Structure 1
Amino acid sequence: MSDAPGSPDVPAPAPRVRPPLSAQGAEEERRVLSLKPVLAPARGSYGGHPHQTYDLWTANRPDAPLVVLLHGGYWRYDRLHLTPFAAHLARQGFDVLLPGFRRAGGAGGYPATFDDVARAVDTLPAGRPYILAGHCSGGHLALWAAARALLPEDSPWYSTRLPDAVLGLAPITDLAGVIRDGLSDDAGLLLLGGDGPAVERLPAVDPLTLLRGAGTTGVPTVVLRGANDEELPHDQFTGYLAAHRDAREIVLPGTGHYTLIEPGSPAAGSVVRTLTDLAAGLPGRTPPGRTA
């Protein structure tokens, strides 16, 4: 007898209908996503595919902590909307690497999106400590990359070379929940290749599933979110935090989903402070604003 959701024996729960955005939420989304992209001072590639490229902003200080920043957009959209925030972080004293990757609905999806994220972090200079951060679906990819040591050792993505810390900014943590709720026009199914393949593929690429049984990734982990996030169901945050015994949660009152990545906003200030605290724990690094 199968116990898989959607089988004849166990009916799939009804998807939740996302209520319309409030005026505040709609204005925040419009404001942040309409920011003019910022051209990076340096660009490069980490592979041969046209999407295996990165933008780089440096803080022009030799001891600047490195932040690898993964963009959101439900695995479908490009990284342009995150370039203003990447530039903002560089002005705050961080070196910021913003990689692209093959995306769902085009050249990517399973397995290419995950191949690219793994390759992007695996090609970082050996011995350079870094914080892996991501917003929304980029947060999902960051939390997944921090959990790669929990994969079976014969997985092509298995690795014990993990980030020194990980920060999820309003992250997607539960792909089964994304699929159940049909978020962003069934973005989870698009990522995993449809209903049938998703059942088999989900366990290897879902941070929440990987945590079950282990209870921790061993990587210092922070989930930072707004109390007024209208984009994601709040159980995307609470379920992961209940499963990850070492993760720390920061909830910002009066804050929505997008203003976390809005340069100069109070929420972005909280992101900078959190990155600064995480940088204090990086091996051999002095975080911005502090002296050794």
Structure 2
Amino acid sequence: MTPLVSAARSGMRRGLFEFRQSFITSTDIIGIVVPNLILLTVMIFMRGSTVGTTGFSLGTMSLSGVLGMSVAFSGMMTVTQHLAVEREDGTLLRAKAIPNGMFGYLTGKVVLIACLTVVNLLVILIPGLLLFDGLALDSVGSWVTLIGVLVLGLLATMPIGAILGSLFENPRNAGVLMLPVMGLVAISGIFAPLGEMTEWLRFVGQLFPIYWLGLGMRSALLPDSMAVVEIGGSWRHLETIGVLGLWAVIGFILAPAVLRRMARRESGASMAQRREKALQRVT
């Protein structure tokens, strides 16, 4: 067995262990369930509204878009927060000290985030199928599209999260990302069709993965007749694959270099300094 294969297997075991640990502590369970319940509640109140003149429920349309948003949040924000936390507590420094430790560490994070993303999707999707009318997840094509968008979305967003996480030395500073990310959600057609927004907002929204993830999930879950409210009157599958694929390629080119630079800068002295600052904030 080669060293990289051994590191990958070790990372996979660590990722699965951390995933199981996520369902042991009440704090982690609350962090998974409560935000999704809030989203479901908001969409339940939106069921009485319709999308334009289609007569289709805005709540049902938003539900499918929220699934795409959930993938984006898992890929970007969760990875960013994990890297920032484990950079401060010394986990990254310990991984750096082990041969191929960083490769194994990143493998574990991929496994953990992928598993958590699937759980988050199911927490929304399963009750959504019971509460919302009009979802069209009743064919092999719909399931293939949903799984394909999920995989491509994680490939597009996780490198972004890794890059962002390497820029923050502590998890408190990483929290500042929430505001611009929520701004992107607002202009990405998650809760209202992007075509109803002004031209410049449509342009900006289409530059980022959140819009394309929402569009991809809507194409998987909604009837084909609902494509009429989208830009261009279609689901634009090729454009979705192209944009998310481009983000993935750019991310996988930049992320390794940024992470290597971060790892080189990690040392016992820098970690001790961050801990001292954290203790000063507490006291």
TM-score by length of 1: 0.28
Higher relative contact order (CA 8 A, sep 6+): 2
State the structure with more CA Rg. Answer: 2
Task: Give the TM-score normalised by the residue count of structure 2.
Answer: 0.28
Structure with a larger share of its residues in helix: 2
Point out the structure with the larger strand share: 1
